[in-house]
Chain A
């Protein structure tokens, strides 16, 4: 069953076409990721889903409710965590939670059990008297998430929740999202960190107001038309110059201690030996690796995918 349906949604700000007719459908209980750089249109779409913005055209339904007609009903079943930290810095953790519980009219008798659950996964209980302004970046994000969950929404919308959060807190945050999803909540989350695509059930690659690709992370990566190799063990700059002259080479990226090279076809062992000999790279090592989401994204930007 589709829990969220976005159909041909467009939105223009002045001369900027933020969304150019976007369509997608999210299943109930799915963890769906909008992956794309800043300015791709992610926030505009998420704000539209949350009834905070009216698209110029197209339609969006959340649990069968229409964002243009059923605003209060949608807000009652939807939790939204905006991009910028939106809590009261001069209230404590517990006070912020109580404020949101009041705002969403959570019945008093249900609060102890809900708070216990939120404190359990966020591990914020020891800090409940601390002012929100004094929390670390990772803890602030967990508090904002807890506030968005206080009314036990059916669908949770998160706008770049892991931006600027250190890698450990980020990993922990994703684990919490997996737990929430396991409880049956639908989650739509945006991120500019390409490597977070693998945390989602399905993703949409967003670029310039359009969806460039959509599907499971494996399926999206599977559409990459080339073979990617990691090359090391030799003078990388020289190797790069050498390979730039080979017709099979589709792309080269120099990393700290390796080259990532994509080829239109898998080079044969003879070809590798020939290159190592002809270019003078005796120590050359090569291994095939899976394309990254970034590789896939680039191929889409260049119009190179099927």
Chain B
């Protein structure tokens, strides 16, 4: 079995004269929770769009779940799930309709959608709510439903975008317990966030600035290396630093 989930080599994307992602090289293992941090405009979104098969690179290599981003973007889309806590679900659809929608988007047959819908509703504990509008759900449920919907097609890789911003602490911790179980079962989890509490849940964290990767390590090692107590301070120190690395690496 291939133990590498995502690999990039000098992945670059330019928009006209602007280089949004500049020679990004990372390797993410199967079962890893990998954090992707950066200020607005640092290149995170562009990088994620390339890894999701939504945007072609200008240069460099990348494979996602073993598929090449240049040649196999359709296969990549079938092998990833995407969840954002605040924006994934349609509030004015019922729970059942939301699941049908996501199943359809991911190309599942109606029979398979029905089967997985039942399993998901059971798993999230939403049996009595299936005909209710999604907007009436408590946030913690909404969030688990969003995660389940993003994984209806059982993808090996999941992208999470600020998955727990605004949810209460108990729901947040339950959510991350689920994510840990998924990772332990071999799912690879990509987390992009502005929320440094979420970065602490990652096995490794990468920080981008101006299109370049400027740090990559575990949260504990990053805090140690930069002599800071929390990821917020590490982030601010790194991103504000005019030139954190020797010139030849830039």
Interfacial residues, chain A to chain B (CB-CB below 8 A): 36-40, 136-138, 163-171, 192-195, 207, 232, 237, 253-258, 294, 297-298, 301
Contact with A along B195-225 (1 / 0, CB 8 A): 1110111111100000000000011110000
The contact sample of 23 A-B pairs, CB cut-off 8 A, is A36-B168, A37-B167, A37-B169, A39-B139, A164-B162, A164-B165, A165-B40, A167-B37, A167-B194, A167-B232, A167-B239, A169-B39, A170-B194, A193-B195, A193-B197, A237-B184, A254-B176, A254-B180, A255-B201, A256-B33, A257-B221, A297-B168, A297-B169
Q: Is the CB of A256 within 8 A of B218?
A: yes
Contacting pair A195 B203 (CB below 8 A): no
Complex contact B170–A256 (CB within 8 A): no
- How many angstroms from the CA of A170 to the CA of B194 in the assembled complex? 10
Residues of B within 8 A of A193 (CB): 165, 195, 197
> Are A195 and B230 also in contact (CB < 8 A) when A254-B176, A298-B169 are?
yes
Q: How far is the CA of A272 from the CA of B230 in the complex (A)?
A: 25
| Residue in B40, B170, B218 whose CB lies within 8 Å of A298 | B170
CA distance A237 to B35 in the complex (A): 20
Asked if B230 contacts A257 (CB within 8 A), the reply is no
Q: Mark B16-47, 1 if CB is under 8 A from A, else 0.
A: 00000000000000000101011111000000
CA of A89 to CA of B38 in the docked complex: distance in angstroms? Answer: 25
Is the C-beta of B106 less than 8 angstroms from some C-beta in chain A? no
Give Cα A38–Cα B38 distance, bound, in whole angstroms. 24
Number of inter-chain CB pairs below 8 Å: 100
Q: What are the 6 A-B residue pairs with the smallest beta carbon separation, nearest first? A: A37-B168, A38-B166, A257-B218, A166-B39, A256-B202, A192-B166
Inter-chain contacts of A36 with B (CB < 8 A): 168
Closest to B138 in A: A39
Chain A CB within 8 A of B9 CB: no
Q: Taking CB as reference atom, which chain A residue is nearest B204?
A: A256
Measured CB to CB, the closest approach of chain A to B132, in angstroms, equals 13
Smallest CB gap from A208: residue in B: B168
- 8 Å CB contact of A38 from B167, B239, B240: B167
Contact of B169 among A164, A167, A194 (CB under 8 A): A194
**Given A164-B194, A256-B202: A301 and B218 within 8 A (CB)?**
no
Is there an interface contact between A168 and B218, defined as CB atoms closer than 8 Å? no
Option from B162, B169, B235 in Cβ contact (under 8 Å) with A294: B169
Instruction: Decide if B200 touches A256 in the complex (CB within 8 Å).
Output: yes
B10 is an interface residue with CB less than 8 A from chain A: no
| Beyond known contacts A40-B168, A195-B232: 12 more, CB 8 A cutoff | A37-B171, A136-B40, A137-B40, A163-B165, A167-B236, A194-B169, A207-B168, A237-B180, A256-B203, A256-B205, A257-B203, A294-B169
Contact for B39 among A168, A195, A232, A253, CB less than 8 A: A168
